[in-house]
Amino acid sequence: MNRTKHKQAELILAGGLIIDPASKLNKIGDIYIGEGKILKIETKKLIPKHKIKFSHEILNLYGKIITPGLIDMHTHLREPGREDEETIYTGSISAVTGGFTNICCMPNTQPPIDNQESVKFIYEKAKTARCKIYSIAAATKGLKGEELTEIADIVKAGAVAISDDGRPIYNSAIMRYALEYSKMYDIPVISHCEDLSLSADGVMNEGYISTLLGLRGIPGVAEEVMVAREIRLAEFTGARIHIAHVSTEGSVNLIREAKRKKLKITCETTPHHFSLTDEALKTFDTNAKVNPPLRTKRDVEALKKGLKDGTIDCIATDHAPHSIEEKDVEFDAAPFGLVGLETALGLVITELIEKNILPWTEAVAKLTVNPSRILKLNAGEIKIDMPADLTVIDPDIMWTVDPEEFKSKSKNSPFGGEKLKGKAYLTIVEGKIMHQL
C-alpha cells in the first residue's frame, strides 16, 4: 500500500459509479491509475468537480458506471485460417468497442489450436491486440475427440482451459480422461453439449416454428442428455467442468440440481439465447442460425431464472464471425454463428438490468469476476495493484444496432435495427484507453 503512494497517477477516473462485484463496492468514487495498474480507489475524498474540467488526466465520469474490464470467456477469432472473417487484431478492436478488456479465444480455427506451438502463436499475435487475449486450447488432437492434446504443454504455454467447442467430446471415456488429466493442472474443461445423433442434421430449434418452416429441428434434449452426462462425469472425476452456451430449460434445471450437490459445475449462457427465440427465424434469417439454436420463450424464461438464482455463472458472447458470402445462402447451407462482442453489453443492460432480471452488480459479476475465477485470470476486479482493466459504461445512451458499423470484420448479427440501452463509453486496458465513445 505504501509503495503505491509513490507512484504518480497517470489517469484518474473521477466521479463514476464504481461497481465491483468482488469487493461488493457500489459507490461513486475516483480511481487512480498509473503504470498500467490501479493505484488508488477513493470513495471519500473525491476530487472537486471544478478541478476536473481543467485537467487532461482527470476524466469526468459523473453519470457513468465503472466496472472491472469485461471478460468474454467464449470468442471465436478465426485466426489462423479464416482471417477474411476475423483476426485476433480485428477481434480485439471489436472487443474493446463492446467494452471487453479480456477475451478468450476458442481453438476451432484452421488448423485448430491443439499443441504448444499453436498456443504460442495465439499469444504472439495477441501482443498487437487492443485487449488481452487468452487461449482456450483443444482438448483432443484436431478436435477429433479421439486422443487428448498435450495438456501439460498447452498449460505451460498459457492456455487457460481446454475445449473442443463447436463439437462435443462424443466418446465418454475420452471426456473422462480429459477431465482427469485437466484436474492435475486445475483448469476447467469447457463442454459444448450436443448429442449429435439427436441433433441429426438439424438447423434450428425443434418446436412449433421448425414445424411451420419445415426446417430440421435440433431438440432441446440433444443438449440436455450431454449436460446430464457431463454432470455425472464431473461428480465421478471431481474435475472442473464448464458448460458452454446453455440454451434450454432442461439444462438449467440439471445444472441447478448439480450445484445443489456442490459439484464443480459452472456454466454460461449468451446474450442471444436470453434475448431471442426461434421466432427470429421466421423470415429464414441465416444471421439468427446459431448452435445451440435459439429456443422458445419458455427456455428464455428459464435462462433468466437461472441467471437470477445464480445457476448460470457467466454471460459469454460465443462471438462467431462469418463472411457475408457464407451467410447469404440457402438456410440449410449457411454456417452457424453470430457476432456478439459489440451487442453483448447493450443486450445485458436492455434485457436483464432494465427488465429487473438482474441488478447491476449481479450482471457485472457474470461478465467479470465469475469468468475470471473459473479461468483463474488476473482480472475481473477493481483492486489496488491489479491491472487497470476497466470498462466505463454509459448506462443511459439509447442506440440502434447497425451491423455495418461493427468493428468486427464480420457483420452477421440478427440484431440489426434493434434499439438498445447502454454502451461502453471507455474501455481501458492496463491503464490505456483502447476505446472511447
Would you name the residues annotated as active-site residues?
Answer: 318
* Contact characters 264-293, other proteins, x per CB under 8 A: -------------------xx---------
When binding is defined by CB under 8 A, the residue of 8, 173, 330, 404 that contacts other proteins is 330
Q: Which positions from 362 through 421 interact with other proteins, judged by CB under 8 A?
A: none
- From 96-104, 129-137, 325-333, 418-426, span contacting other proteins (CB under 8 A): 325-333
Shortest approach of other proteins to residue 294 CB, angstroms? 15
Using CB under 8 A as the binding rule, whether residue 207 contacts other proteins is answered as yes
Q: Tell me whether the omega of the peptide bond preceding residue 414 falls within 30 degrees of 0, making it cis.
A: no
- Distance from C-alpha of 373 to C-alpha of 292, rounded to nearest angstrom: 25
CA 157/CA 143 separation, integer angstroms: 19
Residue 221 within binding range of other proteins, rule CB under 8 A? no
Query: In terms of CB distance, is 48 or 214 closer to other proteins?
Result: 214
Q: How far is the CB of 216 from other proteins (least distance, A)?
A: 8
Is 206 one of the binding residues for other proteins (CB under 8 A)? yes
Determine, following the binding rule CB under 8 A, whether residue 210 of this chain makes contact with other proteins. yes
Closer of 221 and 384 to other proteins (Cβ): 221
Measured torsion, CA atoms of residues 347, 351, 356, 359, in degrees rounded to the nearest 10: -20
Instruction: Establish if 211 lies at the interface with other proteins (CB under 8 A).
Output: yes
Cβ of residue 203: shortest distance to other proteins, in angstroms?
Answer: 9
Residues 6+ apart with CB under 8 A from 321: 76, 77, 78, 82, 85, 86, 91, 337, 339, 408, 409, 410, 412
CB 187 within 8 A of CB 178: no
Distances (CA, A) of 57 to 217, 230, 242, 431: 55, 50, 41, 11
3-state helix, strand, coil in the chain (%, to 5): 35, 25, 40
Phi and psi at 71, nearest 5°, equal: -120, 130
Q: Can you list the positions of beta strands (E) in 281-338?
A: 314-315
Q: Decide if residue 325 touches other proteins (CB under 8 A).
A: yes
Task: Point out which span in 116-124, 324-332, 345-353, 428-436 binds other proteins (CB under 8 A).
Answer: 324-332
> Left, alpha or beta for 13 (phi > 0: left; psi -120 to 50: alpha)?
beta
Shortest gap between Cβ of 325 and other proteins (angstroms)?
A: 7
State yes or no: residue 84 binds other proteins (CB under 8 A): no
- Residue number with CB closer to other proteins (162 or 203): 203
Among 254, 347, 365, residue whose Cα is nearest residue 308: 365
The residue assigned the cell 498456443 is 119
The only residue of 309, 333, 354, 436 in contact with other proteins, by rule CB under 8 A: 333
Taking the complex as a whole, how short is the minimal distance between the CB of residue 333 and other proteins, in angstroms?
A: 5
Q: How far is the CB of 213 from other proteins (least distance, A)?
A: 6
212/398 with CB nearer other proteins = 212
Q: Give the three cell numbers for residue 86.
A: 476475423
Other C-beta atoms within 10 Å of 36: how many? 14
Map residue 153 onto helix, strand or coil: helix
Does 188 participate in binding other proteins (rule CB under 8 A)?
Answer: no
Point out which span in 34-42, 115-123, 214-222, 235-243 binds other proteins (CB under 8 A): 214-222
Which C-beta is closer to other proteins: that of 128 or that of 211? Answer: 211
Q: Among 222-230, 263-271, 303-311, 323-331, which window interacts with other proteins (CB under 8 A)? A: 323-331
Is 321 a residue that touches other proteins (CB under 8 A)? no
Q: How far apart are CA 110 and CA 277, in angstroms?
A: 31
Minimum CB separation of residue 215 from other proteins in Å reads 5
| 215 near other proteins, judged by CB under 8 A | yes
Minimal distance, residue 338 CB to other proteins, in Å: 17
Per CB under 8 A, residues contacting other proteins are: 206-208, 210-217, 219, 283-284, 325, 328-333
